[in-house]
């Protein structure tokens, strides 16, 4: 058997700079530097295990999410040891993948999302941490 640990929980916010102090106040963790991910249409930062996600524009998936639902829980992410293997297993189980192959996510990690159409509306991300032996900065 296997067990994927929780990697992070992500909340959609209208402004990273406005949301950061609240989460820092509650949890005590400092806000990480902001990372911009143009391919995903977002800017993100981490406060401990919480990822704050701000859309780069209204016409992005997170921009539309905020218009529909307001600020709130956006996705949960599990850490997996082998992302391609996890994706093919879940696809075989009948889940729909947004990402058929892993893509580069925040913190330099490989990520892939499952489609909410096939999960009862939950957006679930799978994260494979970068190799700790990776060279370079």
112 is a site residue for Zn ion (CB under 5 A): no
Return the number of the residue (91 or 107) whose C-beta is nearest Zn ion. Answer: 107
- Candidate ranges 17-25, 43-51, 57-65, 86-94; the one touching Zn ion (CB under 5 A): 43-51
CA gyration radius for the chain?
Answer: 15
Least distance from Zn ion to the Cβ atom of residue 1, Å: 25
Phi-psi region of 63 (alpha: psi -120 to 50; beta: other; left: phi over 0): alpha
77 is a site residue for Zn ion (CB under 5 A): yes
Q: Which residues contact 121 (CB under 8 A, 6 or more apart)?
A: none
User: Residue 76, SS3?
Assistant: strand
Binding site for Zn ion (CB under 5 A): 10, 51, 77, 125
């Amino acid at each position: 058997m296997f067990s994927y640990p929780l990697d992070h929980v992500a909340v959609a916010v209208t402004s990273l700079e406005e949301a950061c102090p609240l989460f820092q106040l509650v949890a005590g963790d400092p806000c990480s530097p902001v990372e911009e991910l143009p391919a995903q249409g977002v800017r993100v930062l981490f406060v401990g295990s919480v990822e704050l996600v701000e859309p780069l524009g209204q016409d992005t998936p997170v921009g539309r999410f905020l218009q529909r639902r307001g600020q709130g829980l956006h996705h949960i992410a599990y850490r997996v040891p082998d992302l391609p293997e996890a994706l093919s297993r879940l696809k075989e189980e009948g889940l729909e993948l947004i990402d058929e192959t892993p893509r580069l996510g925040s913190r330099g990690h490989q990520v892939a999302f499952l489609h909410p159409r096939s999960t009862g509306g939950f957006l679930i991300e799978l994260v494979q941490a970068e190799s700790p032996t990776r060279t370079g900065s």
